[in-house]
A = this chain, B = another copy of it.
Amino acid sequence: MTLKLVYDFGEGNAAMKSLLGGKGANLAEMNRNGLPVPPGFTVTTSGCHAFFEAGRRLPYAVEQQIQSALERLEKERNQRFGDPDNPLLVSVRSGAVTSMPGMMDTILNLGLNDKTAEGLASLTGSERFAYDCYRRLIQMFGQVVFGMESIHFETMLRRLKKQEGVESDQDLNGDAWRRLVREYKEGLLRHTGRAFPESVYEQLKLAVEAVFQSWNNRRAQVYRKINGIPDDQGTAVTIQAMVFGNRGNDGGTGVVFTRHPSTGEKVLFGEYLLNAQGEDVVAGVRTPEPVSLLKSRMPEIYRELEQAARQLERTGRDMQDIEFTIEKGKLYLLQTRNGKRTAQAALKLAVDLVEEGLITREEAVQRIEVSHLEQLLHRGIDEAAVPEVWVKGLPASPGAAVGRIAFEADTAEAWRREGKPSVLVRPETTPEDIHGVVAAEGVLTTRGGMTSHAAVVARGMGKPCVCGCEAMAVDLERGELKAGGKVLREGDWITLDGASGRVFPGRIPLKEASATRELLTLLQWADDIRRLRVFANADNPEDAETARRFGAEGIGLCRTEHMFFTPARLEVMRSMILAESEEERRAALDQLLPMQQHDFEGIFRAMDGLPVTIRLLDPPLHEFLPQREELERRLDESGSPEERERLKRMIRKAESLHEVNPMLGHRGCRLGIVHPEIYDMQVEAIFKAAARCIEEGIKVQPDIMIPLVGDVSELKVLRGLVEQAAEQVLSPDMRAHCPYRVGTMIEVPRAALTAGSIAEHADFFSFGTNDLTQMTFGYSRDDAEGKFLSHYLDKKMLARNPFEVLDSEGVGQLIELAVERGRARKSSLKTGICGEHGGNKESIGFCHRTGLDYVSCSPYRVPMARIAAAQAAIEEAAALTFK
């Protein structure tokens, strides 16, 4: 039996996504459910594989099955493909398994040629309509199949409008479009050396091949890379009878969301254009009307649309994004898919759907894209600091962004590599700009609506976006952005507020948002579900308070060195480093002690009743001295002999402290071993702070963490130091109220390997996955990212950046091994991670599976981590169910 490679809509259903693609499966399902879908059929993803296996050629079996399906379609529509008297026109679209909006190519109006166009004109009585369709076909076909750039078509169209003396496409008549068709065809031949095929079957074959081909175009590859979609999934192709929204004012086209994609509110939300094809909406060339207006204009259609929306939502168990067309007063649904949404909308939706009984709490938690929470929790404009608004556009994707104006995606990408934040500013964006959106802090366009490319893509990535900001003029050639008499140039600072659509010149301070009811509800559900505890990294009382507000169950990492970086303290720290005698050093340390103690007290108060993990001094001492060049410059400029003496001492000290590989040098507990007086001071400050807080009635739980242990002897010695300090500082009564623990960062591979013996002297292990990753890979992060890591990622030699997503294959092995050996030696051992990975979803999943007790991340990531931890628990439960 021949393999079935083509399915009519009537033959499929929603479950056949991997075969029919998301689009094909949904259309089939809609058809099954009696929704008004134009008929059609789908070439399966197996067809795509066959195409690539045959050396990028459409195999005969596929061609044959398309032919049969086409014949059935002709029958159903009562039209004939290529028949000038009654031409069947079709759309050809890609349909990947995972929705990839704007990524794959689409061709509409296929089936038009010189004869059928003429036929369509007489059939519809509108030459204008027929040749508008035809020129659209030639343009799309030319771009997608023959690879001609859109600018050529646009130039020809612009020239035509100039000749005709009109502003808008609407104002061109049939004859003008007919002339454009001729020009397009000539242009196509001139630019690509290939003629537009008059044979409609040839058109179809080439179009299907082009869609398959487009699976491997650059923007699709970029999208898959960003979204972690496997390269071998392949795409299906859906061929569907065309319906036309641009055959007069009793037609139109639009996009509707079943709920508001920015807020999640339960209202139909969307836009439509009368007398238009779908391309017009998506491209953002004309600014459409809100769908609510349709209610008064076409009440029947609106009601039908509303019903269909509800039905699709129930079937899809999620908010839907529906494309529709009205042809001569009849509604057609062209496609539906789960709608992209803002973080805020996603939360509201998840909670609402649970309350409406459509999904479970677990599903609701599972649906939250943790990376999107950042949108809610980070970056809003600090309203207190807001100057007058410069201009305002559409609030297309919430969150605020501050960056330098980049007019080209390549510029934004280049600046990203240099660490310069940018805002991508374009008249409108196209899929070609996607790497610029990835690189930029936010996106600003002067054209296009809430469902324009820029808006959809930005929301998908959780990037702030303001679009359709028509009060603004972008002059790409001169590199200027003008509005209200003010001119900004490329590289100037600009601030966006994607939540309100406001745009400001310069840099506006940002502020963090507070949690919504829905977020609190979801977090509560997540807390009920998760097993992993979530701690935060905080180096001062303010951060500790924020962390607790976000639900941190403790401090997983307090970096004591950060307490030394204010100017006054830095001076004392330097005196300590420069000290030439034990006495001098102790004097400086005596000054530092009360400063640290004060900070510790604040943190203990903020975390009353919760554990506070304090890491003793970690960085090499030279990090506290100014750069050599800076010192020499100051020496050249300085007059005072004392100052010069001190500078010279600093230079000598900096020289003696200089290291070839500071990452692997004299830092961490190696400092504590060689200079025990520093750790002595820190531990004394911790216990004095604890004592003070205990007197105030606060419950303290200091977990003292020794960094960079590589051999048990280091921990043994320094544990002794801590215990001695506890005895000296705390009265026996106090000690009873201060159940301190001593543990270590596991960040050196050897520590993981010898975890068994280390556990004998440790109450807890905290995996310092930043350094552990550096040493396990032998990558200095400072050097790798600029020099070879990006190359490795581009060439897919590494699937993910190991500094972002924990490398479970290598680094993860060390963690598993250390946890296993550590627990075997001491069952009460507490384990967690405190590297940047603690705020990364996949890495949190790894920590859950490995059985760690907690993850620790930055305060703003705590909610994300709570969700991610719950998701890991849900996935685990699901995996167990499958077994």
Q: Residues of A with Cβ closer than 8 Å to B?
A: 659-666, 670, 673-674, 708, 710-711, 713-714, 717, 747-750, 753-754, 771, 774-780, 782-784, 787-788, 791-792, 795-798, 807, 809-811, 813-814
Contact = CB atoms under 8 A, between A and B. Distances in A.
A665 B782 CA distance: 9
A750 B792 CA distance: 16
Nearest to A774: B664
Contact of A711 (B747, B754, B797): B797
Nearest to A798: B711
Nearest to A771: B778
Contacts of A807: 750
A710 B777 contact: yes
A750 B776 contact: yes
Given A665-B787, A810-B750, A710 B778 contact: yes
A759 B795 CA distance: 22
Contacts of A796: 713
A673 B791 contact: yes
A665 B780 CA distance: 6
A673 B813 CA distance: 26
A778 B784 CA distance: 17
A662 B792 CA distance: 18
Given A659-B780, A664-B664, A664-B774, 17 more contacts: A659-B783, A660-B663, A664-B779, A666-B788, A670-B787, A674-B787, A674-B791, A710-B810, A713-B796, A713-B798, A714-B797, A747-B778, A748-B776, A748-B777, A750-B778, A753-B809, A753-B810
A662 B664 contact: no
Contacts of A798: 711, 713
A673 to B, nearest CB: 7
Contacts of A663: 660-661, 663-664, 778, 780
9 contacts: A660-B663, A662-B780, A663-B778, A670-B787, A673-B788, A673-B791, A673-B795, A708-B778, A753-B776
B778 A664 contact: yes
Nearest to A787: B666
A748 B665 contact: no
A83 to B, nearest CB: 54
A783 B749 contact: no
A89 to B, nearest CB: 48
Given A749-B776, A778-B775, A810-B750, A784 B673 contact: no
Contacts of A797: 673, 711, 713-714, 717
B810 A754 contact: yes
Contact of A664 (B666, B780, B813): B780
Contacts of A775: 664, 749, 775-776, 778
A778 B711 contact: no
A777 B752 CA distance: 10
A145 B664 CA distance: 47
Nearest to A664: B780
A793 to B, nearest CB: 11
A462 B255 CA distance: 89
A779 B710 CA distance: 9
Contacts of A708: 778
A807 B750 CA distance: 10
A813 B809 CA distance: 17
Nearest to A709: B778
A710 to B, nearest CB: 5
- 5 tightest A-B contacts by CB? A661-B780, A664-B780, A750-B810, A665-B783, A713-B797
A807 B779 CA distance: 22
Greatest chain B CB density within 10 A among A714, A787, A795 is at: A787
A659 B780 CA distance: 9
Given A713-B797, A788-B674, A813 B753 contact: yes
Contacts of A714: 797
A796 B664 CA distance: 21
A782 B710 contact: no
B750 A811 contact: yes
A250 to B, nearest CB: 59
Given A749-B775, A797-B713, A784 B754 contact: no
A750 B752 CA distance: 13
A798 B670 CA distance: 13
Nearest to A665: B783
A801 to B, nearest CB: 13
A673 B663 CA distance: 24
B662 A660 contact: yes
A749 B753 CA distance: 11
Contacts of A788: 666, 670, 673-674
Nearest to A671: B788
A210 to B, nearest CB: 32
A662 B661 contact: yes
A163 B459 CA distance: 105
A115 B811 CA distance: 78
Given A749-B778, A776-B750, A778-B775, A783 B673 contact: no
Contacts of A754: 809-810
A660 B659 CA distance: 9
A807 B751 CA distance: 13
Contacts of A673: 788, 791-792, 795, 797
A346 B120 CA distance: 108
A246 to B, nearest CB: 51
Contacts of A810: 710-711, 749-750, 753-754
Nearest to A773: B750
Contacts of A795: 673, 717
A685 to B, nearest CB: 24
Contacts of A670: 787-788
A625 to B, nearest CB: 16
B753 A814 contact: yes
A712 to B, nearest CB: 9
A782 B753 CA distance: 24
Nearest to A670: B788
Nearest to A807: B750
Contacts of A747: 778
Contact of A783 (B661, B674, B748): B661
Contacts of A753: 776, 809-810, 813-814
A431 B697 CA distance: 62
A791 to B, nearest CB: 5
A161 to B, nearest CB: 46
Contacts of A780: 659-665
A788 to B, nearest CB: 5
Contacts of A662: 660-661, 780, 783
Contacts of A814: 749, 753
A765 to B, nearest CB: 16
A755 B673 CA distance: 35
A300 to B, nearest CB: 60
A767 to B, nearest CB: 14
A748 B659 CA distance: 21
Contacts of A779: 664, 710
A154 to B, nearest CB: 36
Contacts of A750: 776-778, 807, 810-811
